[in-house]
Amino acid sequence: MKENVVQVRVRGIYSTALCKLFLDHGFTITQASSVLAERLNIEKTMYPPNVEVYDTKNRQGVVVVGEREPLEKTLNAIREEVEDVVTRRPSVNLNAIYMGRIIRKFNGKAIADIGHMRIIVTPPFADEGKVQLLRISEVDPKPIASGEISIAGKYVVLTTNNQIGVSNKIKSKDVRKILYHFGEKMKPVNMGIIFRTAAGSVDLALVSEEIEKISKEMEEVINISASLEEPTLVREGEAVVVTEFPASAKRALDDVRKSVVPTVKGHHFYKASGDNIACLVDFAEEILSRHPELHGEISSTLERKVLEKNIRNGNEVKIEHVKPNGKIIYLYGRVAQAKLPQGEIVIRRTFRGKGYYDGLNVPKDPGDHGVTIIMPEEWFFKTEYYSKDGTFKGAFYNINTPIEVYPHKIRYIDLEIDVVEWPDGTVRVIDQSTLEEAYIKGYIPRKLKEKAEKVAERIMNEIVNRRRMEK
């Protein structure tokens, strides 16, 4: 294994596209599946990775975790090749260890104070008011801590559960048996061992050295914690970034994958839709591999079959309004009209409470209704607001990443900047500073920020011209 080379392990629905992208940047792909190694014509190696990439739970992007310098190189490679990627850096590192104070228990879980934030904790955990060591076990979609402490190396993970385990990726029964016996011999007192994938193909002397090194680090963490009475960071953990691929990024990844293997239009969109549709895509691409001349027909048929089934007139639909920082606001309405796959979707919502319409600062009254007009893959959508008697109160143009219409839901990433239109013809672009803030915080790249600004300017000009023509 060469020094200073990014050794990346990739898992999930984006693996083929991302591995091709990483290879083009000179990275080494390690621990690839047999299918992926054959597809990319690479040697199948079992080197320990210094960066791991895997799907987010909702399959809308990937989690990138590992050593800081290789991680940044990996993230930069993704950003260079795939426009519009949204990036979020969690407030904690994965597998970081904190001394935390248990604040409250509920439903088999707990809430703990770790110093700079409060976090949900899974068992085991102490009594309320007590302090204990906690490990950040998840960061996607939000940080979660565990009362079970572990420290990972290249070949093993040492835990506090006193058990021995072997990676499921090690298939050889003989190797698994050897590692179990080796673990029984080498397991430190009151600790457990999990042998990682790379342990199945290296000299056990290296594994032994790492067990000794990590066990000393674990003892040091435990000894330090004995003198701590307040929440604080004890061990830094691994650098981690969560990325999200909006529609435009998924399309770019489709193109990369298409350069390697037959790929239907919208491959990653469908794969993110769920297992049932993913299986349908696999079947379609099997046909495509034998009949590449049918690419257009297969892609259009798949699109029609997937979308026509679920977004229908009269159905209730959920809208996932995703903020750049990852917060999701759920909106609901009833489909008044749907002309899929290419036509518009009209959604009607009736309001029961009082308030003010966002951006317009116009009173919202019981009985008012909003009419939202959505075009798949468009960079904005429009909502018109009306009083109970049908009087137009104003319109709100939401600027966002290209709209994705999934089975049972509509999803996009809100780009913060908006355009508002009042009944008297006044038009204004609003929330430019919020867009700027999202860029400064690193959530969105400069090009995506500039796209949003151009869309807002175009919409405002179109409204002004339309109003002028109406006079």
For Cα atoms 467, 470, 471, give the angle at the middle one, nearest 5 degrees: 95
Cα–Cα distance measured from residue 412 to residue 431, given in angstroms and rounded to the nearest whole number: 18
What is the pLDDT, as a whole number, of residue 2?
A: 57
Cα–Cα distance measured from residue 247 to residue 82, given in angstroms and rounded to the nearest whole number: 11
What is the pLDDT, as a whole number, of residue 343?
A: 81
What is the residue type of 70? P
Q: How far is CA 167 from CA 171, 202, 376, in A?
A: 9, 14, 42
Q: What is the pLDDT along the chain (471 residues), one digit of tens a residue?
A: 556 799 999 999 999 999 999 999 999 999 999 999 999 999 999 999 999 999 999 999 999 999 999 999 999 999 999 999 999 999 999 999 999 999 999 999 999 999 999 999 999 999 999 999 999 999 999 999 999 999 999 999 999 999 999 999 999 999 999 999 999 999 999 999 999 999 999 999 999 999 999 999 999 999 999 999 999 999 999 999 999 999 999 999 999 999 999 999 999 999 999 888 999 999 999 999 999 999 999 998 888 877 766 678 888 999 999 999 999 999 999 999 888 767 899 999 999 999 999 999 999 999 999 999 999 999 999 999 999 999 999 999 999 999 999 988 999 999 999 999 999 999 999 999 999 999 999 999 999 999 999 999 999 999 999 888 886
Cα–Cα distance measured from residue 8 to residue 65, given in angstroms and rounded to the nearest whole number: 10
Q: How far is CA 248 from CA 80, 164, 245, 251, in A?
A: 14, 44, 8, 5
Q: How far is CA 224 from the centre of its chain?
A: 35
What is the pLDDT, as a whole number, of residue 3?
A: 61
Q: How far is CA 288 from CA 72, 137, 174, 284, 344, in A?
A: 36, 40, 40, 6, 29
